[in-house]
Chain A
Amino acid sequence: MENVLEIKNLCKKYDNFELKNITFTLPKGMIMGFIGENGAGKTTTIKAILNIINSYQGEIKIFGLDNREDDKKIKEDIGVVLDDMFFPEILTPNDINKAMLDIYKNWDSKMFYDYLKEFSLLPNKQIKTFSKGMKKKLEIATALSHHPKLLILDEPTSGLDPIARSEVIEIFQNILEKEECSILLSSHITTDLEHMADYITFINNGEIVLSKTTDELLNNYGLVKCSEKEFKKIDKKDYLKYKKTKYEYEVLVENKKDFKTKYNISIIDKITLDDLMVLMIKGEK
């Protein structure tokens, strides 16, 4: 399968934080949820992909091209929503349209105004009069209106109230039906991703913990709930992490079928991405 994004051994060192050998690939036409707690390295990785930070080691290929050598060509086909708001708020959507017409070769004004209408955004109002959710919708409309082949969305739902968040998710779901593009979507709100993402890449403390298909992850991984006595019988190599709660032990296993065959423990729940994140970050080995 053709990959739209390939990251190999990406390293970037700061005084108090480090990206360590980040490696993952995003196949064409797929949606990847990029998860991890705040400060895990999601935004830094995305900034490296976009060359917003450029002093890093490793290789990043987008559409098979080197992201530093073919920067301009690649960016014509990428739509971006960053975690912070980024349009100067004295501008209006009309101003954005005029500027983007000369920035992107494939800018589609009709599409942009159709999105503005769909999102109920007035084209001649200054952005500062918009709510946070409206600003995010404008950013999404801008990211989509040049027919990108790859969408990079960094925490697009972060900081939004539940209503605005569900609206934004709905927008993405509609886009997925209409457009044919690959998506890298970073979020620490994992429930947003469970039904949307084909792949999940989990980053913790600057390192990739896992990168798998969502089905593989949700079907194979399991959350074993057992007593202390039962837990003590489990071989260390048969689980990834465990957490002791008030009444029981919660144990994360990589293959629940194999585990069930080996141990006589009946309660093995399906995991959620939240369980996975919490146990991998806070759990013990």
Chain B
Amino acid sequence: MTPTLFADLGLLIILLGLALLITAARPAFIAVAAYMAYGLVMALAWVRLAAVDVALTEAAIGSGLTGLLLLGAVAWSQRHTQFQARRLGLRPGIPRRAGAGRGLTLLVALACGGVSAGLAWVVLTLPEPAPSQVPLVQAALPITGLGNPVTGVLLVFRAIDTLLESVVLVFALVGVWSLASDPAWGGRPRSLHVVQHSGALVLLGQLLPPVGILMGLYLFWVGADAPGGAFQGGTMLAAMWLLVLSAGLAEVPAVASRRLRLLITGGPLLFLAVGFSGWAFAAGFLGYPPAWSKPLILAIEAALTLSIAAALAMLVAGPPERPTAADPQPDPQPERNQQRGHR
């Protein structure tokens, strides 16, 4: 057994252990924490699979943003369960929803095991030699002026996917905002609302963003020739914005804000405009005139980076809300909490 295979095996065992924890842990908080760790280890696995672009995306979105989102959701639902239980005069510890019976669990486990076994069989019998698009990409990449084949695929060869993906982000945001209650419509998302300023978080919110923003812009810029790109850079920028917001150093914009909406739709709109102009100046929809391809791609990527950053941050911030009594209150009184401790 070679050392690298040994390392891969270790990576895989950690991943499977975390996956088991995500599925089986009883408190939702532990499952979400395990998911964040899983995303980071998975980023290492992507590097081992020679997919550094994917590794960056996985660490940023799969672990970071999804983890933040789910953590916020778990905290929210626990807080509201508590609050409502107290309001309705119920016992604070709410009984869990009933799970499936033993027989059904066994049946589902067998079925899922069957799916796994089937997939494992597929993996073991993948065609040899493996089909590959590498020669095609390598032959066509010089025309684009790009050095990173993944960026080439994302913004030239399969640009339609990327265009639709950036539109999906906008649609998801429309969907999330639509879940606001009528009186809250047009207002500010409150999930990142700061109840009590924490000195440490404020310091981090002041120290890190200059470096983080630089790193986000670098990731976007270097994406043309090395691993990186609009999505990785945009996520980095979104993370910095979220950090500043959750440190209470800036206020979450209202969803009715024109500037915010322009920022979010700017990237996809520019992409669409360039796409349509391809009919006039190039081979067709989403075609670039060869002499202009590199500057056009960079312009689209720059606008996309900003739009993705704004859309991702606002997606995590959630729908606009009005203050409720179930929100966390400032000035905690620990002694009362201890009296009410239900552990």
* Chains A and B are bound partners: no
Chain B interface residues (CB < 8 Å from chain A) = none
